[in-house]
Each structure stands twice: as C-alpha cells, then as structure tokens.
Structure 1
Amino acid sequence: MTNPRALIPLMILILALDLGSGTRLGGRRRRGGGLLSPPRRPEGTELPEDQWFLQRLDHFNPTDGRTWKQVGMRGTLEDASVENLAYLSSEQALADLATFTVAMQEELGLKENKWIAFGGSYPGSLAAWYRLKYPHLVHGSVATSAPVVAQINFKEYLEVVRDALATVNDKCDEAVKEATRQLNMLLLHRVGWQSITKRFKLCSPLDGQNKKDVANLFSILTENLEDVVQYNRDNRDFEGVKGTNITIDTLCDIMLDESRGPAITRYAAINSLVLEVHEEECLDHTYDSMIKELKATNWENNTDIGGRSWIYQTCTEFGFYQSSDSLNQPFGNEFPVNFFIQQCQDIYGEKFNLDLLKEGVKRTNTLYGGKDLKVTRVVFPNGSIDPWHALGITDNLSPDATAIFINGTAHCANMYPQAADDPPQLLHAREQVFNHIQKWLEE
C-alpha cells in the first residue's frame, strides 16, 4: 500500500464568498451588502500576520510590468474604480492562481506535490476552469455549487425557489403568489402605497409611479425568500452568519398561518423577521440609494464594495440575473432582466449595455465550454434546492468528471462543517468527495 503521508497534497483553497449584490451568487441587496462576517475564532487566539503575494496586474499584456500585492488574509487596498475593475475577470483570476502555484512550487520545493483546487459558488466555477485551463498545475478540482454556464437571463432561479417551497407544502407557493397579487393591487392607488410603506416598514414613502423603486422593492422582498432557500440549513453558523435558523419551513409556516391575516400581511411578517435578524429598523427600497452605494469606489467604510466588484463581473462576463421573467414562479413580473441591465449602466456607465454583456457571455462560454467541459479529475457537487444547480453540472460528464447531486440540500452545503442533524445524503456526498480525492492522489 502507498504511504498515505506521501499522498498529502498542497491544496489550493478557493473560498466560497457571499458577494453582496442583486445577483445573489451568495448575497443580498440590502444595505450592508450581505457579505459574510469574518469567521469566529477561539478566544485567546490571534490571526496570523497578513501575507502578500506580488502579482502582475495584467497577465495577458507582456509589455505591462505593473504589479499589485495580493493579500493572503483580509482583502485588497486597491480602489474599485471602473479603470481598476477592468482587470477583474475570471481569466485574470485563473492566471493569478497559476502564477501563485508556480511560485510556491519553486519557493517551497513543491513541484512533485499534487495540488487540489477547492471552490464553492463562483470560486467553484474557477476551480473547474483552473483544471480545464491549467491541467499541468492542478491535479484535481472540487467544484461545489458551480455555475459553469454564463447566461444573461437566469429566470430558472426563481423556478427552483418555487419548487423548493413546494417541498414543504404545495400551498406555500400559492400563498406567496396571492401575497404578490395583493401587493400589486395596493400599487394601483396612493392609499395602497401608504399601506405598503407601513406594512413593509419602508424607510421612506413608496412612490408607486417610480418604476425603478417598485422593481427594487419587489426584488428585495423576493430576496427575503430566495436567500433562505439558497442557504437552507447550511451550517454557516460557525462563520457568524445571521439568520441561519430561518429555514424554508419557517417561511412556509408564516405564509400558511391564516391567523396572521391576509397573505400580504404574512409576506410582510417575513420581511419584518429578516429586518430583525439583520438589526435593521426599516427597509431602504429606493433604487437611487442602492445605485449610490454601488457607485462608491473606496474600500474603506463601504460595506457593499464587494457587491460593486461582483456586479461588474456579471455585467461583463456572466449575466446570472435572477429576473422575474418566468411565468412559473410566484413573485410577479416587476423586475425583468432589463431592470438588471439598467443597473450595469447606472453603476458603471452607458457603455455597459446589453450588447457588451452579450459579447461577454458569449466569450465566457467560448472560453470554458459551458456544460460541455472537457475536464478530468473534477467532481461537481450540487444541492437539489440550490437554485444555482440549474447552471451547474448535475450529470456525469465522463467517468472522470462526475456529478454528485445531493437531494434536499442547498448552496455549498457539502463544504460547511458537519452537524449532528446533517441528512444521510449530505454525509454520503462528503464521503464521495473524499474518495474522489483519495483516488486522484493515487493516479
């Protein structure tokens, strides 16, 4: 038998981050951006000193010798101007990884070691694409909850949310649909606007004639349910994430409790619960406020700068817009895909339009192949109630590029620490991932 110590690889850990934005590849659009709080550490321990790695600014321009310090612990000091964001792309990120890998191989004498890439969410996509583009540097990849298809109008997202609600009770979806209908009825007159302002604890009076504000409000209220579905029962408590005790069952218990009053009142109760969890006194629903925050370029004292960075990539590479354009969902039709395209222009400038995004999405799928990935030694875990699985790999691509479809689990569930009440299928999925890695290391 091979000495197991000889099989220990140096692992590239690509952290799954909650990037605050309207695209919700892990985040919410509320003030604060929804970025994860730093993981809690045991009392009496200190964080190690920051470690920096000198990267080229542009890996694809040999005449540009500029560099930047890539931090190993906490973040970057660069501002997020459009000029700087031009270097923010999946291609540059993969080249960063390759440069780092080669440097560590040489500096630490690790050329013979087998590297394994781990990633969840967008970093899961990077993990798969790293193996695709740099197979000589990374021996295998675990690409969890990885959307590998760039798609402008991701209307399937809300369809999966609808299906997830139905796993608790078929009537839950109908209750949300009725609440949306009642909300639309109140939009027809000024007295209704006042009622919405009061019921949903808006920070300022709703102007029902302001289409952008209305769209933003509907989108945020939808996010109240989306976020819970996407992370349902994920073991994120260790990271200090708020609201992990709110589950799909919680939402449906509220929506089906007729003693609370009409459906819109129950819908408002969910909003009040989310406000309470996030320690917010009111809901800032205005479009201009959201855009103002996302236009800020300074990292200091800006809680949604991660949102600005991530939305930039959606406007230039991926799309991923969870619009209300599907008829098979209960959240109405107030935030179509054009609502998100307009945000690109309002945040970054007029040239960030639909034509630019179409070219970007086409380029992304050309670069990586969409679901037709030609890779080996990659495993793709996905949860059945994670809406992102609709853009991921849920069937085996080949005997050496396999899918693990985990029934009843949500976004990146297999990457979080084990809990006593984890379902058997999740435990089995983690075991499968381990077995894949063990097999790869023997090859």
Structure 2
Amino acid sequence: MRGAVLAALVVLAVCGSCVGLRRHDVHGLLLPPPNVHNAPLPPDQWFTQKLDHSQPSDLRTWQQRYFTNDSFYKPGGPVFLMIGGEGKASPVWMVAGQWIEYARQHNALCFLLEHRFYGKSHPTEDMNIKNLRFLSSEQALADLAAFSAAMNVQHGLDASTRWVAFGGSYPGSLAAWYRLKYPHMVHAAVSSSAPLHAQTNFYEFLSVVSDALRSESGQECYSGVAAAFSELEQRIGGGDAGQLTKQFQLCAPLNVSAPEDVSSLVSSLADLFEGTVQYNKDNRAFEGAKDANITVTTLCDIMTSGRGGALDRLAEVNSLLMTAHGDKCLDYTYESAMKKMREESFDSPDNNGMRQWIYQTCSEFGWYQTSDFVRQPFGHRFPLAFSVQQCVDAYGPKFNKAFIEAAVAATNVRYGGRGLRVRRVVFINGSIDPWHAMGRTATRHRHTPVIYINGTAHCANMYPARASDLAELTAARRRVGRLITAWLRESHQ
C-alpha cells in the first residue's frame, strides 16, 4: 500500500495510488497472482449492503460485489474471507494464492468481498465529495460484519462456524481491525504487510528504500542514486529545462519555475526505485508487474555501471521502466495528476481507485511518502506540504494539514495503532517492504505473533510458493498454516 498523494499519480494495474504521476502503485495495492492453471473463475455475485451503517434509520442500500469458492467446503468446515482493498477485486484470488492451499487443507468455504467505492462496488452514483463521506475503514468493517452475518444465514452455517479473515496491505489492516472491532464475527485473522499506525508524514518509507539500496551493493548504489538526484537538482536550478525534457522523455516541456511540476517530476523519478524496492524479487512477477524481471539489482547495476554521468544513468533507468510499461512519454505534470484526482465518475477511464484511496489518506491515514527523511538520496523536492496541497486541491480547503493530522490521530485512537489489543491475529512483514515501518515487527504477546521475514518484500507470503523462495518465506507460510490449524481448534472467546 504504498503511500498517498501526488507523490504517486500514475497507475500500476488495478489502481494503486498514483500521486504525482508515479508509475508504480503508490500505496501497497495487493495485485492478484497469475492463474497459472487456467482454473475457471467464479462469477460476480451481489450482496445488498447498507449505505450508512452508522445511521440505523438510513435504509438506503446498494449492491456490493463478492465471489465464492465452495469447491473445498465440507459441512463443519470454516469460512475463509479475503478482504478487498483499494482496487478492483480479482476472482483469480479465488483459485490461486497461499490462502487457497490453507482452504483446501481445512475444507473451507471461501469468499472475497470487494471494498466499497472500488472496482464494481459503487454505493453512490458518483464520487463527489458529499458521497465520499461514506468511504471509510469503519464503514468497510461494518460491511464485512453485515456480509458475514448474511452468509451464515444464506449458507445455513452452524453458529459454531469459525470465520478467518485474510488481507494484505490495507486489507491486512482491515483483517486485524475486523477481529478487533467484531470479535464475535471473525475467529482469527492473517494480516500481511499491514500498516497499523496511521501517520501523516511517512518519511520512514525512504529510510527503508535507502537501506535496500545500500544492502544491494554497499554504499556504491546509494551514492550513485544520490549523485544523479544531486545533478538533477543542479540542472533544475540552472534552468536546463529543454535538456531535461528530452533526456527524461517528458510528455510536456518542463517549467522549472512551476514548483508543483518540479516536485511531481522528482517524486516520479524517485518512485522508479521506491516501487521496485516495494515489490522486489520474490513476488514481483506474482504482483502482475510488467517489469517483473526488473529488480533492485537491475537498477543498481545501471546506477553503478559507469556509463555516462550519474544523471545519464538515471535517465537509463527511467527509459528501461518506460519501455517495460509501454509508456511513450512521462506524464509528470501536477495539473495532469489533479485532473485524474478530481474525476468523480465511476465510469471514467481515469477511475483506477486513485481518487478514492487518496481521499482515505486525507481523511484517515496520511502515510505520505515524503522526502523529509534526511539520510536518503532523492533530494527534498516532495516534502509533506506537497502532499497536503494535493488534498486541498483535490477535495477542498477543509483537507488542510490540521484536518489531516486530527483525522490521523483519531484513527490511531479508534484502532490502537501498533498497540492494538487483539487475540488470534498473526502479523507478517518483510524486511524489504517499506510498509513494515508502520506495522508490527516483533511479537508482543503469544496470542498475536509476528512473523518478520528477512529479505522479502510486500505481501510475499500471500502468493503461490516457488522453488526459488527464500527458506524464511517458506517457513513463514508453514507457520501461518500451523497457527490457523491451532486457532480453529480453540473455542470462541
């Protein structure tokens, strides 16, 4: 779930935040694995859901999409619920992924519920600011509870039936929060790569990225990246717009006197490394990335190759990823990003989940991946103020820094941040995934174990096993399986 606003505005597949025309998913969007066996996919199903769970007198409803896989189910088996997140829900998850292996083992009935306002689940006629007030994690959790209760009745499930929630990235947070807020509805939860602590300025993101660059080739890669961004800054300061426009294949001429455009460009180039680190190696192909073979090693090899100057090597990285994504030019301008952010129609080709997700960051979570961390190589052109300005420009003057900070504080009070008190939840994080900085990385209580996997990236444990997987990743999947088995034997409490 990479971060938040315009430091992320170009989409990777199913949305993902894109603010600032960053070509990678800017938060931690969980993309589906490939359907390698070409298994038949379940059809769309629809559940009549309440619009506003906070108002019992509000009887308005809408149709929420979900999927079912009952091919493993035997009476008396548990129910496994995959939680949808900040993008279109994919039925491929119903036939692939590690949770399906657990379902087969336990004869589980499987559901996937799409998150309100994403994909085909449209609670309102459009996404104007009045309607977006119905988009929140609290409403999403209440959706899960209402859905679970209805499925118990619809499928004639016994009162003792145990539900287990699964989620990765933001849905990983929802899985833990569902167990926290509705313990009578869900027996246990598997929370992968979940940011639990809301924070306006997520400067630690670049700290983890910097560590990944250093670990790849000592200080050499980090220094190469730092030199490139330093030279970029000098060129901008010298007004060398024409050469930069050509060198980085920009869709529109760079105006070095427009600070928002400069910030957007620099953050887009930083995202070349941020996105690669987040989805590095172990699950990059499974996440559907067109640049699946491009890893941190690939980028560091270029940055330390000695070909041309440091800025030339950064341009080579940019060209490599543009080619992989099929981009003819880099659409980097602030106005282009804002146009997408302000699009209110669900039917718009620009509706990739960006307007919705960034609204959630402005109204609940923050998580802005800024350049405010001192010891990082990307310069300081996308500070917190840059992200806050996008909230204001996209949603109105109410969404200023004071509002965002108050909303973030309220979220931590509501759920408890990293200190949430809950039972039968396992938290899994990878050391290379920058989002682990907002989650739990050490076990505090035996009822909420933490699995911290050295060398893996975002949501790696959720994807199908491969022979090339790190031993720690293989061990993590097995341990999660053992926990599920043990917890399904425990009584409700």
Alignment TM-score, normalising by the size of structure 2: 0.82
| 1:112 paired residue number | 160
Distance 2:350 2:467 in 1: 34
Distance in 2, Cα, partners of 1:42 & 1:378: 30
Q: Partner residue of 1:144? A: 192
Conservation of the 8 A alpha-carbon contact between 2:6 and 2:264: no
**2:463 equivalent among 416, 419, 422:** 416
Which residue is 2:299 aligned to? 251
Asked whether the equivalents of residues 370 and 383 of structure 2 are also in contact (C-alpha less than 8 Å), the reply is yes
Q: Contact 2:175–2:189 (CA<8 Å) still a contact in 1?
A: yes
| C-alpha spacing 1:52/1:126, structure 2 compared with 1 (3 Å) | same
Cα drift, residue 189 of structure 1: 2.6
Output the amino acid matched with 2:463: Y
Match of 1:85 in 2: 132
Residue 225 of structure 1, aligned match among 273, 279, 284 = 273
Question: Residue type of the partner of 1:142?
Answer: V
Distance 2:146 2:382 in 1: 41
2:331 corresponds to: 284
How far 1:395 sits from its partner (Å)? 0.9
Q: How far did residue 40 of structure 1 move?
A: 5.0
- Give distance in 2, aligned partners of 1:23 and 1:204: 18
Which of 338, 345, 351 lines up with 1:298 in the alignment? Answer: 345
2:312 aligned to which of 265, 279, 285? 265
Change (3 A) 1:23 1:51: farther
Bigger shift: residues 263-272 or 235-244: 235-244
| Secondary structure of the structure 2 residue equivalent to 1:214 | helix
Amino acid at match of 2:296: I
Q: 1:159 to 1:142 in 2, by over 3 A?
A: same
Q: What's the counterpart of residue 87 of structure 2?
A: none
CA distance in 2, matches of 1:117, 1:390: 23
In the superposition, the TM-score normalised over structure 1's length comes to 0.91
Match of 1:329 in 2: 376
Structure 1 distance, partners of 2:402, 2:275, is 30
Aligned to 2:232: 183
Asked if 1:76 is matched to 2:121, the reply is yes
Which runs of 5 or more residues in structure 2 are unaligned?
A: 9-14, 68-118
Q: Distance in 2 between matches of 1:442 and 1:37?
A: 31
Aligned partner letter, 1:182? E
Partners of 1:157 and 1:387 within 8 A in 2: yes
Report how many aligned residue pairs link the two structures.
Answer: 425
CA contact under 8 A between 1:52 and 1:69: conserved in structure 2? yes
Match of 1:60 among 54, 72, 94: 54
Check 1:198–1:154 CA distance in 2 against 1; reply closer, same or farther (3 A cut): same
Q: 1:257 to 1:179 in 2, by over 3 A?
A: same
Give the 3-state SS of the residue equivalent to 2:48 in structure 1.
Answer: strand
The partner residue of 1:399 within 437, 441, 446 is 446
Instruction: Give the Cα–Cα distance (whole angstroms) in 2 for the partners of residues 33 and 225 of structure 1.
Output: 10
What is the SS of the residue equivalent to 1:197?
A: helix
**1:58 aligned counterpart, secondary structure:** coil
Q: Corresponding residue for 1:103?
A: 150
Corresponding residue to 1:202 among 250, 269, 274: 250
Amino acid at match of 2:227: E
SS in 1 for 2:331: coil
Q: For residues 409 and 47 of structure 1, what CA distance do their matches in structure 2 show? A: 29
Cα distance in 2, alignment partners of residues 386 and 268 from structure 1: 25
Provide closer, same or farther for how the CA distance between residues 46 and 435 of structure 1 changes in structure 2, counting only shifts above 3 A: closer
State the Cα deviation string for residues 327-355 of structure 1 (Å, max 9, x = none).
Answer: 11110000000100000011111111112
Q: Aligned pair in 2 of structure 1 residues 376, 31: CA closer, same or farther (>3 Å)? A: closer
Which residue of the partner structure matches residue 367 of structure 1?
Answer: 414
Shift of 1:320: 0.1
Asked if 2 retains the 8 angstrom alpha-carbon contact of 1:33 and 1:304, the reply is no
- In 2, the alpha carbon distance for the partners of 1:42 and 1:230 equals 23
The aligned amino acid for 1:327 is V
The answer (yes or no) to whether the contact 2:440–2:450 under 8 Å persists in 1 is: yes
2:222 matched to 1:173?
yes
Q: Is the 8 A contact 1:235 1:418 kept in 2?
A: no
Counterpart of 1:159 in structure 2 is 207
Name the % identity. 49
Does the C-alpha gap of structure 1 residues 297 and 371 become closer, same or farther in structure 2, counting only changes over 3 Å?
A: same
Counterpart selection for 2:181 from 125, 133, 137: 133
Amino acid at match of 1:173: Y
Q: CA deviation at 1:49?
A: 2.9
Contact 1:218 1:335 in 2 (8 A): yes
**In the alignment, which residue of structure 1 is the partner of 2:12?**
none
Query: 2:99 is matched with which residue?
Result: none
The question of whether the paired residues in 1 share the 8 Å contact of 2:30 and 2:169 is answered with no
Aligned pair partner of 1:377 in 424, 430, 439: 424
Asked whether the 8 Å contact 1:377–1:400 carries over to 2, the reply is: yes
Match among 359, 362, 374 for residue 315 of structure 1: 362
Q: Following the alignment from structure 2 to structure 1, what is the Cα–Cα distance between the partners of residues 284 and 230?
A: 34
Q: CA deviation at 1:44?
A: 7.6
What CA deviation, in whole Å up to 9, does each residue of 1:101-133 have, x standing for no partner?
Answer: 111112212232111110100000000111111
- Which amino acid counterpart does residue 261 of structure 1 have in structure 2? G
Instruction: Please say if 1:214 is aligned against 2:208.
Output: no
Shift of 1:32: 7.8
Contact 1:18 1:36 in 2 (8 A): no
- Counterpart-to-counterpart distance in 1, 2:321 and 2:226: 19
Per-residue deviation at 1:50?
1.7
In structure 2, how many angstroms separate the alpha carbons of the residues matched to 1:31 and 1:150? 22
In structure 1, C-alpha distance between the alignment counterparts of 2:205 and 2:63, rounded to whole Å: 36
Deviation at 1:285, TM superposition (A): 1.2
Tell me if structure 2 keeps the 8 A contact 1:140–1:377.
yes
Structure 1, unmatched stretches of 5+, are: 1-16
Letter in 2 for 1:126: L
- Could you tell me how far 1:397 is from its partner in structure 2? 2.2
User: Residue 11 of structure 1 corresponds to which residue in structure 2?
Assistant: none
Q: Counterpart amino acid of 2:190?
A: V
**Which whole-Å deviations, capped at 9, do the CAs of 1:142-177 have from their partners, x for residues lacking one?**
110000000000000000000011111121111111
Query: Matched residue of 1:116: which SS?
Result: strand
Structure 1 contact 120–415 (Cα < 8 Å) conserved? yes
